[in-house]
Amino acid sequence: MSTSCLAAAAPLLDGATATVDPFGSAHFGLAVLAGREPGGTATRSVICAYDKASGRAEVGGALELAQAMPTGAREASRTGDLAAPFGGRCAEECEAALSTLSDGDREAVIGLPTRIARTLAALEGTETDGGTRQALDVAASVAGSDAANAPALVAPVNVTPVEAECTLRWFGFLDESAKTVGTHRCTVAAAADGSVTIEKLTGERLRLRLLPLNDRLSLTVGRSFLADQPERAYDLEAPLNAGNGNFGNVVGLATRSGGQIHLFGGAELGMQPADDTFFSILTISGT
């Protein structure tokens, strides 16, 4: 998006930088570009609208936003300094991935590390088995822990296709601090476009595509479903499966650590009332 907007603004601005709205809308991304008047020194700004469907960017006329800004107003962050998503580690590839989501899903993904950190603080001191403890240690790293023994995280970009055991765990669910929900079978594969795909084959089904966010995390975007439901892919126009609102669009984060892929999710569809302490981890072994 930044590249398209900067190209569209090139005739109007010299040395332009972009401040991208990390939320935008379901169909359009928005950015404010600032630079110098061509051949001059005066600061000018333009607003860019990016059509997510066509990949086309359009800009308005040059504005004197810098001069109109009241004294003491905070200068907008440059794209490289964007601090909202993932502690500022969200460059163009990350912005492009987030732009594919609905507003609510985008906010949920950006807020997931904070949700995890809040729940981990409440779970401190809870006794768990070894596998659960390992998953919690990875969760702490996703939430931003800088502990010396925090597990190293790598975005699961390059994978070897495999069918393997996968374990689903819930944390902060009602009065249960940690719960192993079940062990299932999952596949990890590479799609034709090079993206990683993951499918949960047993129990309540799940099909996900992984899109890189940064060197540590990928976005998971896809759908949950029952075996007899035809809906299989993330759909902005139909977020819930017909006849059963407990299944539908799902988003989250993925990382790789210790030879395992860990998929993090937030609130479960159909959970009423919404529980802002709940998160899940689906851990795929042998990856």
- Show me where the domains of the chain are located: 2-82, 103-284
Can you tell me the mean pLDDT for 62-73? 51
- The sign of the CA dihedral 248, 249, 253, 255 is positive
Distances, alpha carbon 236 to alpha carbons 33, 135, 200, 229, in Å: 28, 31, 22, 18
Judge whether residue 245 has pLDDT over 50. yes
Residue linked to tokens 């249960």: 176
Can you tell me the mean pLDDT for 100-115? 93
What is the reported pLDDT for 268? 66
The overall average pLDDT reported for the chain is 85
Q: How far apart are CA 214 and CA 234, in angstroms?
A: 21
Is the model more confident about 173 or about 181? 181
pLDDT-derived band at 279, boundaries 50, 70, 90? very high
Phi-psi group of 232: left, alpha or beta (phi > 0 → left; psi -120 to 50 → alpha; rest → beta): alpha
Distances, alpha carbon 281 to alpha carbons 29, 129, 179, 264, in Å: 30, 15, 10, 5
Q: Convert the pLDDT of each residue in 46-61 to its tens digit.
A: 898 888 778 888 988 8
